Amino acid sequence: MALTNRLSVAASVAACTLGAAANADIIAGWTFQNSAFVSSTVGSQTFTYPQTGTSTAFTGYHADARTKWYNNVGNGSSAAVNSDYWTVGDYYQASLSTTGYTGISLNFDMTRSASGPASFKVDISTNGGTSWSTISTVSVIQNAAAPAGPGTWTSATSYAAYTSTITGITAAENQASLLIRWISTSAASSTGGTARMDNVQVQGTLVPAPGAAALVGLAGLMARRRRA
């Protein structure tokens, strides 16, 4: 193969690699479609959503052992995680690895019943929970039709008003272990008050491997030679 042809192939590969790196990837996500993950009759302080792999997990903790974990309908999906007996400090938690990723962002849908907790903070930890940093706060919209809310959650309709997006989470980049907690900062006004989550998604951009970076440099050199 001629030198110019080899350079052209390398430039094409580099362009494809660069384009792929520019698009955000889904690092981890939870849609809670497995109906076996909760019980609506047995109380428990904790729950764990069943995982298909070992690198991610979604869990929950409540101080009150009478808590029930439900899988009610989601925001445009058939199921979401839901729980009652909320007190200040109770939480949902996601754990994952972001090794090799930059530009971390977080999307999730959240709602509550009329007597459920109305405010949460979103904290992250990169040292196994030894220390935490708050990256956002959330005012939770009631799951109701207008005027109390934008619309009741159903499997057929997704309401954008319930979706929160947090971008530019630089402290979460390239972490072997990342914990994300949605922590209640207000108690439910009754023990039956619930808070529900669905469509949790962590995204990021994969940093090109050193070989791919070299190809990008070669592509630039080839482009300059063509213009010369």
pLDDT value at residue 106: 98
Assigned domain for 135 exists: yes
Assigned domain for 219 exists: no
Assigned domain for 19 exists: no
Query: Helices 210-227 and 3-22 meet at what angle, rounded to 10?
Result: 120
Assigned domain for 12 exists: no
Q: Write out the E strands in the chain.
A: 25-30, 46-49, 57-61, 69-70, 81-83, 91-96, 101-112, 119-125, 133-139, 163-166, 178-184, 195-206
Assigned domain for 14 exists: no
Cα dist. 219→23, 165, 193, 215 in Å?
19, 35, 58, 6
pLDDT value at residue 73: 95
Number of domains within the chain? 1
Assigned domain for 42 exists: yes
- Asked if 27 contacts 98 with a C-beta cutoff of 8 angstroms, the reply is yes
User: What letter represents residue 93's amino acid?
Assistant: Q
Assigned domain for 189 exists: yes
Q: Is 203 left (phi over 0), alpha (psi -120 to 50) or beta?
A: beta
Mean pLDDT by 10 residues, the chain (228 residues): 37 39 82 76 84 80 94 94 97 97 98 98 98 98 96 97 98 97 98 97 89 48 53
Angstrom distance (rounded) from CA 104 to CA 34: 26
Structural domain span for residue 103: 26-207
Assigned domain for 148 exists: yes
Does the pTM exceed 0.75? yes
* CA 57, 77, 202, 135 torsion-angle sign: negative
Angstrom distance (rounded) from CA 184 to CA 138: 9
Decide: helix, strand or coil at residue 120.
strand
Angstrom distance (rounded) from CA 196 to CA 141: 11
pLDDT value at residue 5: 39
Q: The domain spanning residue 62 has which CATH number? A: 2.60.120.260
Q: Please classify residue 165 by burial: count the beta carbons closer than 10 Å to its beta carbon, then call 0-12 exposed, 13-18 middle and 19+ buried.
A: exposed
- Asked if 49 contacts 91 with a C-beta cutoff of 8 angstroms, the reply is no
